Amino acid sequence: METSYCPYCMTPVPGDGACPVCGLTSGNYTPLPHHIPPGTVLMDRYLVGRVLGEGGFGITYIGCDLRLELKVAIKEYFPTNWVSRHSETSLSVNCYAGAGSSYEKGKSRFLYEARTMAKMDKQPEIVSVRDFFEANGTVYIVMEYVDGTTFKELVAQRGGRIPAGELLPMIEPLFSALSAVHAAGLIHRDISPDNLMLEHGSVRLLDFGCARESTEGSETMTITLKHGYAPIEQYQHKGQGAWTDVYGLSATIYYCLTGKTPPQALDRLMDDEIILPRRLGVDLTEKQERALLRGMGIKQHHRFRTVEELHAALYEGVDDPEQPARGGRMKDNSDTPTEIPERAGTDASQRAGVRRRTVLGVVMSLIAVAGILGLIFLPRGGEEKPVTSGAGSITADISEEWAGPERDELFANARSAADEETLAALLADDSVEAVSLSGDFHAGRPYTINKPLLVPEETSAVFTCAVELTEGGVIWASGRVDGSVVVNGGTLVADEGGEVYGSLVLLSSGLVQQGGSVSEDIYALPIEELFAGAVSVSSEDDLRSACENSGVSAIRIEGDIAISESITSNVPVLVTEGARLAPQTDGLEFCVNGAPLVNDGTVECSLWFGGEYPVLLNRGKLSPADGIWIERLDSSNSVFINLGSAELSAYNAMWCRLLNFGSITASGSADEPGALGFGSGDFSNYGSVSVGENCVLVSGGFIDNHGELTIGGAFENYGAVSSVFGSIELLSGGSVENRGLIDMYDVSTLTVNEGARLNTLEGVLLYRSNCSQISGEIDGRVWEVSFELIDDVPMHSVSTEAELLDALADDSIRSIMINGELTLTQPLTVTKPVYIIYDSSIVIPEGETVTVDGSIFVVNGRLTCDAIDVANGGMLEVIGEWKAHGDGAALKLTGGSWAYSRMCAMSVSELTLSENSMAVYASAEMTILRDIELSGGSFLVLRGETLASDSLNAEISDSTLIQLCSAELGGSSSVVLSRTSLYSQSGQLQLLNGGSVNIQSGARYVSFGGRLVLEPGSMLRNGGSFSALGFSDACRPAVNGSLENRSSMFLTLPMEISGTFTNKGRIYSSIVPAEGSFSISDGAVVEGIDNIEPWPEG
């Protein structure tokens, strides 16, 4: 008679009866769709039972070795980011599109680690590997099943702590076992009270499925970080070794002795508030306490390098010189945290000391637990420019009348310039009084203008690099001026009929609006006015006194000041040329609350900016020891303007507008990795930005690169990068993960050197090969088009329908330019490049279609038609206007075709992409969209105005939707994700009454910081994978409607619930304590949140 086993505990049971041990029956257990059903037998030997645990890269089942009749644990390699499965159909895993290579590498690593761990069978403290094999398209490790008590449970059983005299002898055998593991070239990386178990009086170390080679780099699978037990280096890919396990083991001992989870390493980095064990009554000697704290040293070089060293100091009493702690102090239980003074009216959560630690902890947790190398930031919806009337309480001083000579007099002797070289030569020639541009002018180099420059009527001057107006310099805009202009002693005049676009930085009162229009993107910092009545200081005492004096309006630092404690200023501060502001020890900050900081000298202490108008202007040298934090989620009121050099290390986060005209260098080391995070808003680079080894740059905003961007470390892009007359270079060892858009459409270069890596499998990278250059190997598709026949050769001009049809039929004509207003009488098939120039138009008969068959169709002018079909690798560019005869047009892309648009007028109501096609859709009329259908590995990037609709129907199958803009969906609007689809939501998504999102099995929905709000009457159903990731509570998801989870949900932000939340799946949260994962209002209906699980492995 065949033996039956309980799927819960693998005890033999009679027939279908209840288990004599646990009392349950097989009918009590219902697996999730991607789990192997209980009763399955693998390799004709291993019976699978219930799931014991699930992480980002593996599922662990209880099992039975039928041959030996022995209970086992079976770990299945199942990385949720790369594969899916519906076990009712098949037990085989299915790779997501583009994930095959990563999956195979991970599978090989999983098997390698199994083989290595199998060699540890002589270490009784290490859970042994009994077997490993491949099946169902994946791999399995069969491990010894340990049935005991975790040390977390043991602490609870002992009343909250274990005496040192009992604990230390109990765990001592673990040291030699770990030593053997490290000698084999592995590190565990996940030592915690949950992974230590007491079985029959002996200590056992669990979960070596997370172990890895200590020398392995970025290809190794990451694990969930247990905050409090993970050292600082685990928040980065590099710098891990035996000392990593030293930290985890020491932190575990600390917990067992005190009953308190140690503060996160990242929190300790900023302000070490760990309570000394002996202050809590723990019976350790002074030397033992010192040894334990050194094992928990924040920096690697402050820590024991091996477990042998830790053992010697802890057990044998080897003297250990006290190591300095980062961030201030070790804290006893009577201390109160030193808080940075608040500005009146500022919420306590905005304090630098509290909020900075909280944000950084969440941010850096994401680095490891969500595969996000650095910070996940709020992307800005839409394309509108930030609007400000000044920085701080400073109002932009705009004059209405020019006080100098009249225009005709000023330019009476002007010399004419038509190109960049001529303009540069005339500006440098002292004998030239003034310059006048002739014709439209496009500059790809920076200029310093120190004499009058006229942009006449009907002409334009586009500066894609920075322009500085110095003393004597004037730009007189009678035509159009577009670019970034720094007014520093000169004057910018917008004359009647003139237009000034772009970013304006006013360092002096030099903006005249004399009847013309002026950009609203203005940052006014008139230095002389700001500091006219400033108090001068040259010592720390003077500085502190001035900051605390309510009668002081501004401060000038005029000497070398080294601060011994953090200081906060609520008024403008100027560090003068030759002056220096520095910390005496690590971890000290200079905080500026709601006022500008102007640096003309040197600043070496950490900087934090808060309040309503955080502003930093650097014209000297910045080298902050512990980074810069500019904390304003509404980035339109905050700005960092760099005209000098900024050498950044440690952790830097900027929720602001960033204008770089100088140099920014971000770096780190193996011991102290660095991070530069850029949040919502625009980052305009006109100078140089360099990210060094052991450092990560992460952007969720919009980067406009007109200078040099060099990556020697890592760059994670979740927003949009547009490089115009700029260069991006990846040095050997550098890496870029593109999960948003990298736009190389205009003149720029991208170089991937040997040994570097650029991955764009889940993002979009595009370029025009005749304008831009891309070199090196890239993972993922690069969308390429050549406009050589449009930009580089004479085009055949047509102005009538007959001329157009003849030109299309003439093989000797290579490309066609529409010059005039054409009204066609029949459909149009484009088989060679056709370009509608500005001020020209084509009208297609109502109901008829333009078919682009393997060629290029450019709408720079106006097009009226009801449908465009792009097929066979064709390409459509719309930067002008496309209108339909009726309510909306249809755009269809098939056969690997693609479409590109910038903020333009497109009346498109239907978008259909199939067969690996792609579209970047940036329309000013997003509200017209009613139907979106993506299939067959296609990509759609939405980056226009807010997508507001009450009738949108979006069906995404085996494809990727990247939402960079904001979206408001209500009424009958529905988004359905099926099969292996990915919805990457970076802009805000608001589901209004009637709106719904349905995530089916195998599909993924990931919010990278853009807030998700479910209003009353809306519904989100998750049957696949739902992730809400972010760094700030300001963008926490809000459920005012209904959310139903039937599969896996991942949270790094607390979720507000005032509506209905039903959980019938699993919830994983990185929030500690787990109860903080939900904020539940009175009247909310909540079901199934009692068992929130820690963030999974992988």
**370, HSE (Cβ side, Cα atoms, 13 Å):** 30
Separation CA 226–CA 262 (nearest Å):
11
DSSP calls for 1007-1069: EESSPEEE-TT-EEEESSEEEEE-S-GGG--EESSEEEESSEEEESS-EEESSEEEESSEEEE
Query: For residues 374 and 392, what is the distance between their CA atoms, to the nearest angstrom?
Result: 30
Contact at 8 Å (CB) between 861 and 841? yes
The residues, ordered by sequence, that sit 6+ positions from 815 with a Cβ below 8 Å of its Cβ are 789, 790, 793, 795, 796, 832, 833, 834, 835
End-to-end CA distance of the chain: 42
SS3 label, residue 629: strand
What backbone torsions phi and psi does residue 157 show, to the nearest 5 degrees? -65, -30
Three-state DSSP state, 210: helix
Instruction: Using the CB atoms, write b or e for 365-382: b if 16+ within 10 Å.
Output: bbbbbbbbbbbbbbbbbb
Residues 1043, 1058 contacting (CB under 8 angstroms)? no
Is 75 labeled as ligand-binding?
A: yes
Residue 482: C-alpha distances to residues 443, 459, 771 (Å): 10, 11, 21
Q: Is 1069 within 8 Å of 1077 (Cβ atoms)?
A: yes
CB 976 within 8 A of CB 1003: no
Question: What dihedral do alpha carbons 1087, 1090, 1095, 1098 form, nearest 10°?
Answer: -70
Decide: 489 and 470 in contact? Cβ < 8 Å.
Answer: yes
Nearest CA among 784, 732, 778, 737 for reference residue 756? 732
Radius of gyration over alpha carbons of the chain, in Å? 32
Q: Are strands 905-906 and 967-969 parallel, antiparallel or unpaired?
A: unpaired
Please state, in angstroms and rounded to a whole number, the distance separating the CA atoms of residues 653 and 639. 13
Cα–Cα distance for residue pair 172/33, rounded to 1 Å: 43
Dist CA 625 CA 300 (whole Å): 17
Q: Is 838 exposed, middle or buried (0-12, 13-18, 19+ CB in 10 A)?
A: exposed
Q: Are 33 and 75 in contact (CB under 8 A)?
A: no
Residue 1080 forms beta bridges with which residues? 1057
Please, which residues have CB within 8 angstroms of residue 324's CB and are 6 or more apart in sequence? 302
Looking up tokens 């949040």 gives: 679
Helix, strand, coil % over all residues of the chain, rounded to 5: 15, 40, 45
- Which residues sit opposite 1039 in a β-bridge? 1014, 1057
The alpha carbon of residue 666 and the mean position of all alpha carbons in its chain are separated, in whole angstroms, by 16
Contact of 1058 with 1035, CB cutoff 8 Å:
no
Residue 333's region, left for phi above 0, alpha for psi from -120 to 50, else beta, is alpha
Helix (H, G, I), strand (E, B) or coil at 51: strand
Which residues carry a binding-site annotation? 75
Residue ranges for the known binding site for ATP are: 75
